[in-house]
Structure 1
Amino acid sequence: MTPAVPVARRSKSLSSQIGLTERIFSSAEDRATAADIEKGLALVEEGLLREVAFADGIADVTSRYLLSAGGKRVRPLLTLLTAQLGDGTTAEVLTAAEAVEITHLASLYHDDVMDEAEQRRGVPTAQSVWGNSVAILTGDLLFGRASKLVASLGARAIELQADTFERLVLGQLHETVGPQPDEDPVDHYLGVLADKTGSLLGAAAQLGVHFSGAAREYEEPVLLFGERIGVAFQLVDDVLDLSPKVEETGKVAGTDLRAGVPTLPLLYLRRRAGEDPAAASLLERLDTAIADDSPALPDAIAELRDHEVTAVTLAESRRWAGEAVDALAPLPEGTVKKALTRFAEAMVERSS
């Protein structure tokens, strides 16, 4: 029997998604901007449901599976927000927002196969339900649908999509292969995050500027913002991976560590182990507990959570978020700049 598609979840409001306060939306102009974005998000959600529908029965079910399971829709939100620097939510901006979210969705199907993940968005991953081949092919179908949307926007959109897709694949390739002998593991990891997460967030922001008719000189600042905030976002996720609050994180503490996925706290710990006996001892206990799936693993994870390397990871996340905000300097003062700044702050506040 084919599993049912999860019940579609209502998208969160703009304020809850990026932590915007009434103070930011204090003026009539700010409130009008927020209303336009809220309306745009609703239209994007309708468009996503329409665009991931397939005439083929199995393809229709598998392609809608993760979409209906939920998601923050951060990438469409960035597209709609930066579009406010120009003509706002135009038809082309909506198409771009849909394309970038479907691209993200497609990448999740592939990532979960490569990571052998068991859950995504609170439901079993696609390959857990249908197997690796169906999950990979579903991702391919969604990449194809995203490409069709992008093609309708013209050559510039196709170029941006191709560049971003190349970076997504290179990021996954570099993560899979690991750092080269002459490469610093931390620098390698940050580069992977910039490609795997930052590139698509940057493209989402850039597409909003381009297809709203905003000034061309705004494209580079929002691109840099998206790339840097993507790294900050993932570094906070590395810290949240150590959290025992399953009801908030949606996963067991140390899920990434158990799966062999590198995280910055662990990489920092490995770097310190050569000089710090206490760090070396904790690293050995972690490696042994992970390899043996030992009952001692939760205690070792808790010790890593309380270790200085985790605090250093949070500081690094805040540094990336700060550099993201710094990139916005060329943008005009107003609602968009304030909202993007608040967006960056909300990303790193998730760890508290």
Structure 2
Amino acid sequence: MSTISIATATEVMDLLRDDLLAIEREFTVQSASPVQVITDIAEYLIAGGGKRIRPLLLLLSAKALGATSQSRIRLGAVVEMLHTATLVHDDIIDEADTRRGRPSSNTAWGNSKCVLAGDWLYMQSFRTALEERNFHVLDLLITLTQQMVEGELLQMEKLGHLINEEEYFDLIFRKTAFLFKVSMQLGAAIEGASDQTEEKLGEYGRNLGLAFQIVDDVLDLTAAEDVLGKPVASDLREGKATLAVIHALERGTGADREAIRTVLADRSFAHVSHVQILEILQRHGSIDYAMDTACAYAEAARLSIADLPATDAKRALLWVPGFVTSRDR
């Protein structure tokens, strides 16, 4: 493991502020359409903010390899457009009312308009990426889109059913970690890095993405609604078994397992309360187990870039896993 120091949050923002602002402007330009409702929905989504962690990863990957071309801004906007399109579709599928503390776009405009706006954003992201004239970039984005769609379909098939850890990790890899992986790989592709270097950066993204989603799932169970920006325990209400729940199912008493099964099957807390589920998870150390697993993946992400040259970008990449595992929303 490298002995270079881990960057601070301030140092990371100072390093990336101008590029992130440029990506925001590029996203705004690329999401403008002659059809006003598309522009309105896109502007609403952009104004909703977010962590912008995927373009941040792409920038750090590119900077770690010395890239300075405009490609990093263009492709940073591409990954954020793709991510935003998935959020629009996810909110429709999940029948979500809120997103980041505001009404979800489908609540404001309706499902029909939003699913089409999401489709438009997908296609616009590919149109923007096409400007790179790079078949490898397109191959990464096509594979990514297929994985995310397959992950969503697999999850829909498993709603309300019990799944094991292997199935859970397959789902979160497809739905979340693959985009983190590709964001890092795109940063390498900009610079024409070797396959080995791209693989290492991709492995960082994969491990970080798994940690990110596990933490997201824990926060869904434990965070306050005003902090989370959406209803808590949404996953259980949608019939999704996440890592802490799977852990408790494997270790709980018969009554514990029956309580969890009831919530997953009912897709509500009508017969078993959220507080009862939390008590079961706490009693079996399931929340701690999930967080320990997330921290292990975060450390694996750091280890995967040990051979990168000691740069400010590498110091920033060493900071990101700690941010992912310590956040409260």
Same fold at TM > 0.5: yes
How far off is 1:282 after superposition? 4.7
C-alpha separation in 2, matches of 1:287 and 1:174: 16
How far off is 1:286 after superposition? 4.7
How far off is 1:78 after superposition? 0.7
Task: State percent identity of aligned pairs.
Answer: 28
* Equivalent residue runs for 1:146-295 within 5 Å: 146-154=125-133, 155-178=135-158, 185-214=164-193, 216-273=195-252, 276-277=253-254, 279-280=256-257, 282-283=259-260, 286=263, 291=268, 293=270
Deviations 1:162-202 (A, max 9, x none): 111111111111111129x9x96221111111111111111
Are residue 59 (structure 1) and residue 16 (structure 2) matched? no
C-alpha separation in 1, matches of 2:26 and 2:18: 12
How far off is 1:289 after superposition? 8.0
CA separation of 1:141/1:287 partners in 2, compared to 1, >3 Å: closer, same or farther? closer
1:196 counterpart letter in structure 2: K
Are residue 347 (structure 1) and residue 327 (structure 2) matched? no
CA separation of 1:267/1:84 partners in 2, compared to 1, >3 Å: closer, same or farther? same
- Equivalent in the alignment of 1:12: none
- Equivalent in the alignment of 2:299: 322
How far off is 1:259 after superposition? 2.4
Contact 2:236 2:263 in 1 (8 A): no
How far off is 1:284 after superposition? 5.9
C-alpha separation in 1, matches of 2:174 and 2:240: 16
1:175 counterpart letter in structure 2: Q
C-alpha separation in 2, matches of 1:168 and 1:186: 19
Contact 1:80 1:208 in 2 (8 A): yes
How far off is 1:278 after superposition? 5.8
- Equivalent in the alignment of 2:108: 129
1:263 counterpart letter in structure 2: T
Are residue 299 (structure 1) and residue 271 (structure 2) matched? no
Contact 2:97 2:103 in 1 (8 A): yes
Work out which of the residue numbers 69, 82, 92 in structure 2 matches 1:113.
92
Contact 1:66 1:121 in 2 (8 A): no
- Which deviates more from structure 2 when the two are superposed, residues 66-75 or residues 250-259? 250-259
1:156 counterpart letter in structure 2: H
Deviations 1:273-308 (A, max 9, x none): 4xx3463365367558854535x6242143145231
Contact 1:285 1:300 in 2 (8 A): no
C-alpha separation in 2, matches of 1:85 and 1:291: 46
C-alpha separation in 1, matches of 2:14 and 2:140: 28
Deviations 1:35-55 (A, max 9, x none): 452211111111111111111
- Equivalent in the alignment of 1:74: 53
- Equivalent in the alignment of 2:3: none
Contact 1:36 1:89 in 2 (8 A): no
- Which deviates more from structure 2 when the two are superposed, residues 135-144 or residues 327-336? 327-336
Contact 1:82 1:205 in 2 (8 A): yes
Deviations 1:230-259 (A, max 9, x none): 111111111111225223222333122122
CA separation of 1:191/1:116 partners in 2, compared to 1, >3 Å: closer, same or farther? same
CA separation of 1:186/1:346 partners in 2, compared to 1, >3 Å: closer, same or farther? same
Structure 1 residue ranges without an equivalent (≥5): 1-18, 26-32
Contact 2:281 2:287 in 1 (8 A): yes
- Equivalent in the alignment of 1:21: 8
Contact 2:241 2:264 in 1 (8 A): no
| 1:242 match: secondary structure | helix
Are residue 96 (structure 1) and residue 75 (structure 2) matched? yes
- Equivalent in the alignment of 1:333: 310
- Equivalent residues, number: 321
Deviations 1:91-124 (A, max 9, x none): 1111111111101111111111111111112211
1:21 counterpart letter in structure 2: T
Select the structure with the greater relative contact order (CA < 8 A; seq sep ≥ 6): 2
How far off is 1:351 after superposition? 5.5
CA separation of 1:302/1:158 partners in 2, compared to 1, >3 Å: closer, same or farther? same
2:144 counterpart letter in structure 1: T
